[in-house]
């Protein structure tokens, strides 16, 4: 039975966007924690741990996110560990985010000249002290724009979770379309909501970048 697309549907879509945001937020936090660990593993001096971290990143970046959603949702259930949709999407998206964030952050760390580490060593700072006081403060400024850029990707990619029945913005759009059959209107509204979420983030990243740069310059 086909009904009209009304303001109420816009409301429902906006409510569904909560789950998009919540999933992106949890995955970003989970991915950041794991990503930070991976980043540290990749710059620390003990080679075997560096290899483990590199392997993790290579594998995750070389496989589709969709495959991980299936692994966590259907795969685990098959071998006798069924987990909820929520848990499966959180696991898959955190895993996905960890690899990309680790790669972004390692790039930022490695863009700091070797001489900065050396100046730290020469002053008797230990490895972690060099990282904390010399390298990370400089790397953050470099890392912010691509990190926010990735967060925007992450938010848009949460739409994939619809395939295992996770209801977020895109899935809600599909459902609305099924009962109103106004695909153009529905998905324009869906796109507009994604844009309304992502655009301010992009602007924020530009502002932060500018501000951190200015803070360094003022003397």
Partner 1 sequence: MSLVACRDVVKRFGTNTVLDGVSLEVAAGEIVAIIGRSGSGKSTLLRCVNGLEAIQDGSIRVGDTTINAPGADLRAVRQRVGIVFQSYNLFPHLTVEKNITLAPRVVKKISDRDARQIASDVLAKVGLSEKVNAYPDSLSGGQQQRVAIARSLAMNPDLMLFDEITSALDPELVGEVLKVLEALASQGMTMMLVTHEMGFARRCADRVVFMHQGKIWEQGSAATFFDNPKTPELTSFLSAVLH
CA distances from 194 to 154, 159, 166, 169, 191 (A): 11, 10, 17, 8, 5
Using CB under 8 A as the binding criterion, the count of chain residues that bind partner 1 stands at 20
Contact status: 214 vs partner 1 (CB under 8 A) = no
- Give the contact letters, 159-198, x = binds to partner 1 (CB under 8 A), - = no: ----------------------------------------
Q: Which residues contact 125 (CB under 8 A, 6 or more apart)?
A: 133, 134
Selected from 138, 174, 179, 180, the binder of partner 1 by CB under 8 A is: 138
Asked whether position 1 contacts partner 1 by CB under 8 A, the answer is no
Q: Is 111 in the site for partner 1 (CB under 8 A)?
A: no
Contact assessment for residue 141 and residue 210, using Cβ atoms and an 8 Å cutoff: no
Choices 52-60, 93-101, 123-131, 145-153; region in contact with partner 1 by CB under 8 A: 123-131
Using rule CB under 8 A, residue 203 touches partner 1: no
CB 112 within 8 A of CB 139: yes
CB-count exposure of residue 73 (10 Å: 0-12, 13-18, 19+): buried
Q: Which is nearer to partner 1, 61 or 116 (CB)?
A: 116
Nearer to partner 1, 108 or 155 (CB): 108
Answer for which of 14, 21, 125, 197 binds partner 1 (CB under 8 A) is 125
Q: Tell me the HSE value of 20 on the side-chain side, using a 13 A CA sphere.
A: 31
Q: Based on the shown chain and the rule CB under 8 A, indicate whether residue 134 belongs to the binding site for partner 1.
A: yes
Sign for the CA dihedral angle at 43, 46, 50, 52 comes to negative
Which parts of this chain interact with partner 1 (CB under 8 A)?
A: 115-116, 118-119, 121-126, 129, 133-134, 137-138, 141, 216-219
């Amino acid at each position: 039975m086909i009904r009209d697309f009304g303001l109420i549907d816009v409301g429902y879509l906006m409510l569904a966007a909560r789950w998009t945001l919540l999933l992106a937020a949890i995955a970003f936090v989970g991915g950041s924690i794991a990503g930070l660990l991976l980043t540290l593993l990749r710059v620390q001096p003990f080679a075997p741990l560096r290899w483990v971290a590199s392997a993790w990143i290579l594998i995750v970046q070389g496989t589709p996110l969709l495959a991980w959603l299936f692994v966590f949702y259907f795969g685990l259930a098959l071998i006798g560990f069924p987990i909820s949709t929520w848990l499966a999407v959180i696991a898959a998206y955190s895993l996905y985010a960890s690899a990309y964030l680790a790669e972004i952050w390692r790039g930022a760390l490695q863009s700091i000249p070797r001489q900065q580490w050396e100046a730290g060593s020469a002053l008797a700072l230990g490895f972690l002290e060099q990282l904390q006081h010399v390298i990370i403060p400089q790397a953050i400024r470099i890392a912010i724009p691509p990190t926010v850029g990735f967060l925007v990707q992450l938010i848009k990619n949460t739409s994939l979770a619809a395939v295992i029945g996770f209801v977020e913005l895109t899935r809600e759009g599909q459902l609305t379309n099924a009962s109103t059959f106004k695909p153009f209107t529905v998905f324009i509204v869906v796109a507009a909501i994604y844009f309304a979420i992502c655009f301010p983030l992009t602007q924020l990243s530009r502002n932060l970048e500018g501000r951190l740069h200015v803070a360094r310059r003022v003397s």
